Structure 1
Amino acid sequence: MDRPVRTCVGCRERSEKSLLLRLVGRPGTCEVLADPNQTAPGRGAYLHHDPACLELAIRRRALGRALRLTGVDPEQAARALGSVSPDLRPRA
């Protein structure tokens, strides 16, 4: 049986869904939340556990586009990801 595949919004490489972090937009706001269990309702965006992918996604403004949200705060998104993946903690 084939495993689900998703595209990282940062590097645009396709990977197995289980190897990526899922992000969702909080309904009614422009807040991005990490979804480690990949079960939260709503539109999702996927990202590798790699700081370079996060930086690319922020630079390209890909998170807002993928989640169909305007005004996504990249710092808030980085904090949400850092709470789930220590590799993606914002640099001080």
Structure 2
Amino acid sequence: MTVLAMFLLGLYAGKIGVFERNTPHLKLIKKVWLGALLLGIPLVALLAAFLLSWIGVGIQQEMAIQLVTSLSGVTLCFFCMSSLRL
């Protein structure tokens, strides 16, 4: 996910009022928080396994590491932002 896409998601969330103090979107924020947590922890564990060579995928090891790094970064970003809002 590019920086522009994440910026636009944040802009949209701000426009609909997700970041306001008394927001009706608290249920959505909690769902995002839980989903990001449940996706982020296994992705970080998988990344550690790739980096420590516990899991080998042969010639495509570097591509797998880049993919898992970018996916875990996005999920942890959503987890962090929703944690700050809760």
Normalized against structure 2, the TM-score is what? Answer: 0.27
Report 1 or 2 for greater relative contact order, CA contacts < 8 Å, sequence distance ≥ 6.
2
Greater helix content = 2
Give 1 or 2 for the bigger CA radius of gyration.
Answer: 2
Structure richer in strand, relative to its length: 1
Could you tell me the TM-score, scaled by structure 1's length? 0.26
